[in-house]
Amino acid sequence: MTETTASPALTHHADTVLRTLHIVTWGCQMNAYDSLRMADVLRPIGYREVATDDADMVIFNTCHIRERAADKLFSALGRLRAVKEARGGRMMIAVAGCVAQAEGAEILRRAPYVDLVVGSQAYHKLPELIAAVEAKRASVIDTDFPAEQKFDFLPEAQSGQGAIANIAIQEGCDKFCTFCVVPYTRGAEQSRPTAAIIAEAKRLVAHGAREIALLGQNVNAWHGEGLDGRDWSLARLLDALAEIPEIGRLRYTTSHPRDMGADLIAAYRHNEKLMPFLHLPVQSGSDTILAAMNRRHTAAQFRRIIDDLRSARPDIAFSSDFIIGFPGETDADFAATMALVRETGFALAYSFTYSRRPGTPAADAAAQIAPEVAHARLLELQEVLREQQHAFNRAQVGRRFEVLFTGPGRHPGQTAGRSPYLQPVVVADAGVAPGTIMPVTITAANPNSLMGTIKQEQIAA
């Protein structure tokens, strides 16, 4: 739906050729990627990015996953209103992303000085929406899920992202977990065409990327017509990307257990560029709660996937997501989650207490859990997860594996990079060029990072 409402606050000047742009990004890697692509869309019409919010255009690229996302937005908008007023109104304020999609006209009602509300499927239309704001001197909302795919209308990515680069290959979700807003804010599952993904990977490699992470809300649901005209799955796409010689590492996130097909598991046997680290959200270890969440898999099926992946790639490690205190969760359900965690062993995990998302089925469930009960369970879970993470990091000491270096470390004389398991690794050797992949011996483990050494002759080479 594209709507306009009178916006007396809008006095954006349309006659400027070169304009400054500031994008505030909240949320996941996908939002960070979307912000890059918004900058790509706006560059041809004269916008260049700046680091401060005193800009001709400020876009809030919002995230709806965490609680109070709308409150966070409105307080940031309130602060920016003063900046806009100090500029005599010569600023365009846009709200994009999932909160824009979910709140729509409510944003203009509460913050009439906002000029543009653009949903997550419409940012390829930013130039025409900006033109509409300027022509009508009124605020514009576009929260459509258009028939055409956004992916087909985005310009080619112009800029590099450094040694580690993301590519969105899939968007939206058809799973409808009962706690999640994504199917409503991002729409139905869409897969980006194969040729566009491979072309973008080659462009990113030309800009120095050595590691490519494929992104999607349900990334392993990606499928599409391959370069050979056949239907490709994510496993086949990863094989095709592995053929690009400059790519040293491949990852993908976020996956759903139901879409961990046999070919994707088998890819861990033969695709050496596929990193041995997988983020696979399970949310709960209780089948009752998994059913109430509409996760469409059981705890046993999750365990089987983990076993199969470990058979395919013995050095693989896992991260996961947990929601604790989901409506109806009993002590026995929580115990089942703890049992699954202890049995599986996670290198990393993200865990939260359940919080209601308006408009989702679970928000109206009768058996909401008392916050203090949920909180106590979360602390118990997090203690075990923290121990597992520390144990995993400690287990790396003495190992030697390849690190992808990304730039200077925090202290002078250091270079930092990423392990195959995404842990930050710091070496006391300056001058290793970003993009270099070389073996490092791990000498010490901190809770969230590793220290290592490289041989001097390797640097000289």
Please report how close the Cβ of residue 162 comes to ligand SF4 at its closest, in angstroms: 27
At 140 the three-state DSSP class reads: strand
From CA 5, how far away is CA 334, in angstroms rounded?
A: 49
Q: Minimal CA–CA distance to 219: which of 184, 245, 191, 247?
A: 191
Contact region with ligand SF4 (CB under 6 A), list: 11-19, 176-184, 306-314, 325-333: 176-184
184 in Cβ contact with 50 (< 8 Å): no
Residue with Cβ nearer ligand SF4 (35 or 217):
217
Verify binding: residue 351, ligand SF4, rule CB under 6 A: no
Shorter beta-carbon distance to ligand SF4: residue 217 or 406: 217
| Residue 217 interacts with ligand SF4 (CB under 6 A): yes or no | yes
CA separation for the pair 196, 237 (Å, rounded): 12
Contact call for residue 173 and ligand SF4 (CB under 6 A): yes
Q: By CB under 6 A, how many residues form the interface with ligand SF4?
A: 10
Residue located via tokens 């709507």: 3
**Smaller CB separation from ligand SF4, 94 or 215:** 215
Q: 272 exposed, middle or buried (CB, 10 Å; 0-12, 13-18, 19+)?
A: exposed
Which DSSP helix (H) or strand (E) runs through 212? strand 211-215
User: In this complex, which beta carbon is closest to ligand SF4, that of residue 175 or of residue 251?
Assistant: 175
- The answer to whether residues 452 and 397 touch, using CB atoms and an 8 Å cutoff, is no
Q: Taking the complex as a whole, how short is the minimal distance between the CB of residue 215 and ligand SF4, in angstroms?
A: 12
> Which amino acid, one-letter code, is at 355?
S
* Segment lying near ligand SF4 (by CB under 6 A), choices 173-181, 298-306, 377-385, 413-421: 173-181
Under the binding rule (CB under 6 A), the answer on residue 221 touching ligand SF4 is no
Task: Report the residue from 175, 223, 313, 357 that binds ligand SF4 according to the rule CB under 6 A.
Answer: 175
Minimum CB distance to ligand SF4, residue 218 (Å)? 5
Between 103 and 259, whose beta carbon lies closer to ligand SF4? 259
Tokens of 88: 């005599």
Does 182 engage in binding with ligand SF4 (CB under 6 A)?
yes
Closest C-alpha among 458, 461, 428, 433 to residue 443: 428
Query: With respect to ligand SF4, which residue has the nearer C-beta, 22 or 295?
Result: 295
Q: At 225, list the tokens.
A: 């017509």
450: burial class by Cβ within 10 Å (0-12, 13-18, 19+)? buried
- Chain centroid to Cα 357, Å, comes to 19
* 218 contacts ligand SF4 (rule: CB under 6 A): yes
Classify residue 155 as exposed, middle or buried by CB count within 10 Å of its CB (0-12, 13-18, 19+). exposed
48, 176, 335, 343: residue in contact with ligand SF4 (rule CB under 6 A): 176
Using the contact rule CB under 6 A, the part of the chain among 149-157, 178-186, 348-356, 399-407 near ligand SF4 is 178-186
Q: Distance from first CA to last CA of the chain, Å, rounded?
A: 58
CA of residue 359 relative to chain centroid, distance:
22
Where are the alpha helices (H) located in 154-276, listed in sequence order?
182-185, 194-206, 234-242, 262-270
**Is 292 a binder of ligand SF4 (CB under 6 A)?**
no
Residues forming beta bridges with residue 324, ordered by sequence position:
353
Of 56-64, 144-152, 172-180, 307-315: span binding ligand SF4 (CB under 6 A): 172-180
- Regarding 91 and contact with ligand SF4 (CB under 6 A), the answer is no
316 near ligand SF4 (CB under 6 A): no
| Contact pick of 12, 19, 236, 256 for ligand SF4 (by CB under 6 A) | 256
Residue 183 binds ligand SF4 (CB under 6 A): yes
Choose the stretch contacting ligand SF4; rule: CB under 6 A; options: 78-86, 119-127, 175-183, 260-268.
175-183
Site residues for ligand SF4 per CB under 6 A: 173, 175-177, 180, 182-183, 217-218, 256
